[in-house]
Amino acid sequence: MPIEVNGKTLETDEEGYLVNLDDWEPAVAEVMAKEDDLELTDEHWEIINFLREYYEEYQIAPAVRVLTKAVGKRLGKEKGNSKYLYGLFPYGPGKQACRYAGLPKPTGCV
């Protein structure tokens, strides 16, 4: 099911993840969030941007603990936990935030 972003048609897989990671632009996240009835705030963008930076360096999404630790360092210790992240991304920070960030879905025993 393709999505329309800024007049372009982008291919996504069965679960709504971008097929071509290079297709990503900030508007992709906005469009996907809108479909989930979610409004992206600066807090969401902090996470999305971190995921993209990490992926750029390591070619994989960060582990939950790596993510919470980084969030704690950047946004304050009280935010460095899964509860905060689930508050922002109710379908799971790993999966939902990765999708908005244009990353492939982390799959395995997770």
Partner 1 sequence: MAKVNIEVPEITGTTEVPKIKPDTMAHLETFRAKPEFMEALGFPGEMPENWKEKAIEAMGDLLKKYRSFQVFLDACVKCGACTDKCHYFLGTSDPKNMPVARQDLLRKVYRRYFTLAGRFFPKLVGAVDLTEEVLHDWYNYYHQCSQCRRCSVFCPYGIDTAEISMAAREIMDRIGVGDKYSNEIIGKVHRIGNNLGLPEPALADTLEGLEEDVYDDTGVKVRYPLDEKGAEILLVTPSADFFAEPHVDGLMGYGKVFHEAGVSWTLSSYASEAANFGMFIGSYENMRKVALRIRKAALDLGVKRIVFGECGHAWRVAYAFLNTLAGPFDFLDPNYPVPQHICEFTWDLIQQGKLNLDPSANDDMVVTFHDSCNVARATRMGDKPGGQFEIPRNVIKAVCNNYVDMPNGTIREATFCCGGGGGLLTDDLMELRVKGAKPRMDALKSVSDEHGVTHMAAICAICKSQFTKVIPYYGFEMDQIVSVHQLVSNAIILTGQNEGGDEEETEEEAA
Q: Which of residues 71-110 bind partner 1 (CB under 8 A)?
A: 82, 91, 94-96, 99, 106-110
Q: Can residue 15 be called a binding residue for partner 1 (CB under 8 A)?
A: yes
What whole-number distance in Å separates Cα of residue 25 and Cα of residue 43?
A: 18
Using CB under 8 A, count the residues that bind partner 1: 26
Catalytic residue among 65, 82, 109, 110: 109
Output 54-60 pairs: Cβ under 8 A, ≥24 positions apart. Answer: 55/101, 55/103, 60/106
Q: Can residue 21 be called a binding residue for partner 1 (CB under 8 A)?
A: no
Task: Determine whether 109 is an active site residue.
Answer: yes
Query: How many Å separate Cα 52 from the centre of its chain?
Result: 8
Q: Can residue 36 be called a binding residue for partner 1 (CB under 8 A)?
A: yes
Smaller CB separation from partner 1, 35 or 78: 35
Is the distance from CB of 91 to CB of 32 less than 8 angstroms? Answer: no
Q: Which of residues 54-73 bind partner 1 (CB under 8 A)?
A: 57-60, 62-66, 69
- Provide CB contacts within 8 A for 47, sequence distance 6+: 67, 71, 85, 88, 89, 93, 97
Q: Which residues form the interface with partner 1 (CB under 8 A)?
A: 14-16, 35-36, 57-60, 62-66, 69, 82, 91, 94-96, 99, 106-110
